[in-house]
Amino acid sequence: MPSHRAAAVASAAVLLFLSGCGSEEEDPADASGGTWTATLDLTPGWSAADPRATGSVDITSTGETSVRVTATGLRPSTEYMAHVHDGECDENPPGGGHWLADPGGEDAAGNIIELSFTTSESGVGSATVGSDLVLDDRAESFVVHAPDALTAAEGIADNRVLCGDLDDD
């Protein structure tokens, strides 16, 4: 007797995959948003005054913006300002002007991405700031500014200590 061959009756199981109603949609025309990183390097004007200064920044900008900056080698217990800028670091001055959310709007709070941090006694500073503004590809760099009083005391023409060109992740 030939061995019985079990006839497997494969019933076609109809599987209903219920996809979620809210499928993800991306608008290819929307150039806003993204993530960027930059290594912050000394600008030429400060290379003699603060030779060990360096830093980094991580930016996530999707719907809203979060900026995290860390820096070392700065002056102790000093408040620094920082912004997203619209020029590259090899421009003069390094980083050009502020990135403006509305290019026709004011160069002021509410239309720029700005943060400040105060360094420790060992010259280390960090900060994380959130903003409702969403960056776009006009954002080119991140600049850390020394206080004007320190800049003047050092006899340096520009207060831009650190600058980093933003790289898209």
Instruction: Kindly state the number of chain residues that form the binding site for Cu ion, as judged by CB under 5 A.
Output: 2
In the chain, DSSP assigns E strands to: 34-42, 54-62, 64-72, 79-85, 114-118, 125-131, 141-145, 160-165, 167-168
Stretch that binds Cu ion, among 18-26, 33-41, 116-124, 140-148 (CB under 5 A): 140-148
| DSSP category for residue 149 | H
Distance between CA 162 and CA 139 in Å, rounded?
A: 16
Q: Does 143 bind Cu ion (CB under 5 A)?
A: yes
Pick the closer one to Cu ion by CB: 75 or 83.
83
CB of 15 to Cu ion, least distance (A): 56
Least distance in angstroms from the C-beta of 85 to Cu ion: 6
Q: Please report, as residue ranges, which positions from 68 to 97 form the binding site for Cu ion (by CB under 5 A).
A: 83
Specify the residue, 75 or 85, whose C-beta has the smaller distance to Cu ion.
85
Residue nearest to Cu ion (CB): 83
Minimum CB distance to Cu ion, residue 19 (Å): 46
What does the H/E/C string look like for 15-63? CCCCCCCCCCCCCCCCCCCEEEEEEEEECHHHCCCCCCCEEEEEEEEEC
Buried residues in 151-165 as b, exposed as e (16+ CB within 10 A) = beebebeebbbbbbb
CB of 159 to Cu ion, least distance (A): 9
**Looking at 30-38, 41-49, 66-74, 135-143, which segment touches Cu ion (CB under 5 A)?**
135-143
User: Min. distance of Cβ 76 from Cu ion in angstroms?
Assistant: 22
Site residues (vs Cu ion, CB under 5 A) = 83, 143
